[in-house]
Amino acid sequence: MTDPTLQVLIPAAQVQKRIRELGQQISADYPTGKLHMICILKGACFFLTDLARAMTRDVYVDFMGISTYGKGKTSSGEVQVTKDLDTSLEDADVLIVEDIVDSGVTLTYLMHLLEQRQPRSIRIAALLDKPERRQRPIEANYVGFKIPDRFVVGYGLDFAEKYRNLDDICVLEEPK
Ligand code: IMP
Ligand code: MG
């Protein structure tokens, strides 16, 4: 696809290589127990499916719908659950799978929500991290790539629901 507003930041092959490394590392960190991978819809669904297949142990997969961003590029600061989990988290090791940590508002809210369900542990795997943008003191335990403060799309990430199906992670330039 040629689109003058897109600039490749992380090519697909590099994304896939890093996810295989994360899969091996996370599998080694959880040798036993019930591991629930919780995909935060919609952005993390591409990451979740590749990460789950890179794991070398059994995993449960569940989905949670969250909306913070609305249709623009800036967070509304309000978090809403649009779809809840289908499974109980009691005694489970929970791995929240998120596309990107930006202000940290979404993940802070989610951590509090899921802690109330008494899992054995909770950790976060985020494909991307924009540390400069943080407004809440939260860090992912597993990060694919730290990136600068640019708006990115592709590999699940969207702008107004567009560009999710790009293989590469791209910076979306403002139209002149
Ligand atoms: P936070 O609550 O500000 O950390 O926002 C997290 C959510 O904002 C992510 O799950 C994304 O859906 C969205 N988001 C943040 N930065 C970007 C970006 O650069 N591109 C696309 N979506 C983003
Ligand atoms: Mg999201």
Model confidence pLDDT, tens digit, residues 59-116? 999 999 998 755 556 666 678 899 999 999 999 999 999 999 999 999 999 999 999 9
Which residues place a Cβ less than 5 A from the ion ligand 2?
Answer: 43
Q: Over the stretch 141-176, which tens digit does the pLDDT of each residue have?
A: 999 999 999 999 999 999 999 999 999 999 998 765
CA of 69 to the centre of ligand 1 (A): 7
Sign of CA dihedral 68, 95, 101, 39: negative
Burial 76-89 (b: 16+ CB within 10 A, else e): eeebeeeeebeeeb
Token duo for residue 161: 């629901």
Q: How far apart (Å, rounded) are the C-alpha atoms in residues 139 and 48?
A: 19
- 7 — phi, psi (to 5°)? -130, 125
- The pTM of this model reads 0.94
CA of 44 to the centre of ligand 2 (A): 7
**Residues designated as active site:** 102
Ligand 1 surroundings by CB, under 6 angstroms: 43, 68-69, 75, 98-106, 151-153, 157
